[in-house]
Amino acid sequence: MSDKTNNELINYDEYHMNILERVKYSAIAMAGVYLLCMLFYNNHIIAVILSFIGLLYPKYKKPQLIKKRKKELRLQFKEAIYALSSSLGAGKSIESAFKSVLSDLRILYPETDTYIILEFEYIVRKIEMNETIEDAIQDFASRASIDDITNFSNVFITAKRTGGNIISIIRYTSNVISEKIEIQNEIEVLVSSKQFEQRILSLLVPGIIIYLQMSSPGYLDVMYSTLTGRILMTVCLILFAVSYRVGKKMTDIEV
C-alpha cells in the first residue's frame, strides 16, 4: 500500500513507482494502444511502432495514484481522529491518547504499511523520544498536503500552546471532517455516473469500427489500403484521442 521505506517518510504530493509498477502500467498502455491502432490501421507494423507511446503512460498515471493515495489517507485520518476524540474523552492525556489510537488503528487496519498507521507510529516515536507532539503533527500535515489534516494540525497546535479545550476542539474537528467526507462521497457517487457515461461514449467509435469489420468484411479495406484512407483514419484517431481527453477532463471533477 505504501511506497515508503523504513527510514523514509512519505511526501504525499510525490509518488515513486517501482520497476514492477512501471512495467505493469507500460504494458497495459502499450497493449491498449496496439489494439486501438490495429482498429484504425489494420497494420501490425504501424500498431507495434505506435504502441511504444504507452511507455509514457506511467508519467500520466502518477497524478491519479497520488490522488488515490490522498483519498485513502483522508478516510483513514477520519477514523484516527474519531478514535483520538474517544480516548481523550475517556480522560487520557494527549500523549497516552495517541498511543491508544495507534493500537486501535492496528486492529482496524491489519496491514502494517497502512498510511495512517505509519504516520501515528512516527508521532508516537517522537513522543517516546521526548520531542514535542506539535512538531510531529505539523510535519505530518505538511507532507500530507490535505486540507482536513492541515486544519486539524493548526487548530491542535494553537489549542495545545494556548491551553484551549483540546477535547472539545478535537471532537468538533472530528464531526466536521466526518460531515465533509460524507458530502464528498455523495458528490463522488454523482460524478461517477457521469464518468461511466463518458467511458461508454469513448467506446462508441471503436465499437462502430469493430461492428463494420464483423458485419461487412472488406467494407473498410479502402481506408486501410490507400493513402487517403490512412490519412482519414489518422485524423479520426487524433479526434478520438482529443475527444476522450476532453471528456475525461470534464468529468474529472475535484471534490
The per-residue pLDDT for range 69-82, each reduced to its tens digit, is 999 999 999 899 88
C-alpha grid cell, residue 144: 500530507
pLDDT tens digits, one per residue of 203-241: 888 899 999 888 888 888 889 889 999 999 999 999 888
Give CA torsion, residues 154, 138, 70, 119, to 10 deg. -130
Place 2 in a pLDDT band, splitting at 50, 70 and 90.
very low
Distance CA 168, CA 164 (A): 9
Looking at residue 30, its pLDDT comes to 97
Give the SS3 label for residue 6: coil
pLDDT tens digits, one per residue of 164-183: 778 888 888 778 888 888 88
pTM of the model: 0.81
